[in-house]
Amino acid sequence: MMRLLLLPWALLALVAGGVAGIPPHEDAARVARYVVHQCDWGALATLSAREPLRGRPFANVFSLSDGPPGPRGSGVPYLYLTALEVSVQDLQVDANASLTVSLAQTPYCKKKSYDPQNPLCAHIIFSGTVDKVNDTEAVFAKLALFSRHPEMASWPRDHNWFFAKFNITNIWVLDYFGGLKTVTPQEYYNVTP
């Protein structure tokens, strides 16, 4: 039944412009918000807390969501995590991490024949910390994640899943030739996507 409820959200996303509505590259904060909302997963990099990699970078793919499908999201990357996961064990030692999301996972870059490494196939790099959300914020995090990743609702309860968010401290946008653009968290959250 949940999947039937998602269809109107997906339809709304297509009607609202889907991936074709990327903002102009001169508006880096809007591009960042747009890319995050279009992406369903990202690469999260931590510093390994386990031997033999202790202290070295370790990247892993995680499902994420900044809100239900539709014209705009919150901008906050939410995650559904368990302490059984290796990267979460790293985060328990050092919550600092980076998160990369890219339009390469959407139809946009394929339609334009952009290689994932081509800057025109926009990607966003965040640095910050990953923290468990409080009970109030967990209500929205659950809606955001389960609306895009419905199978999460059936994952084993004995894994003690919890909702977390990526607290953004730095943002870099690569969406055009000429190098990275820096966006402040304030610019990112204040812009209308």
Q: Is the pLDDT of residue 4 over 70?
A: no
pLDDT the model gives residue 21? 87
pTM score, whole prediction? 0.87
Count Cβ neighbours within 10 Å for each residue of 113-143 and write b for 16 or more, e otherwise.
Answer: ebeeeebbbbbbbbebebeebeeeebebbbe
Percent of the chain with pLDDT over 70: 90
Higher confidence at residue 16 or residue 64? Answer: 64
Q: Is the pLDDT of residue 8 over 90?
A: no
For residue 114, being part of any structural domain is answered with yes
Q: Is the pLDDT of residue 14 over 50?
A: no
Q: Is the pLDDT of residue 1 over 50?
A: no
For residue 19, being part of any structural domain is answered with no
For residue 83, being part of any structural domain is answered with yes
For residue 9, being part of any structural domain is answered with no
Nearest to 39, CA basis, from 153, 124, 150, 164: 124
Into how many domains does the chain fold? 1
Provide the residue range defining the domain that includes 186: 28-190
pLDDT digits (tens, 9 = 90+) for 112-163: 999 999 999 999 999 999 999 999 999 999 999 999 999 999 999 999 999 9
Q: Lowest-pLDDT range, 1-5, 51-55, 92-96?
A: 1-5
For residue 145, being part of any structural domain is answered with yes
Amino acid at 11: L
For residue 18, being part of any structural domain is answered with no
Nearest to 38, CA basis, from 99, 105, 110: 105
Cα distance between residue 163 and residue 156, in whole Å: 15
What's the CATH code of the domain at 179?
2.30.110.10
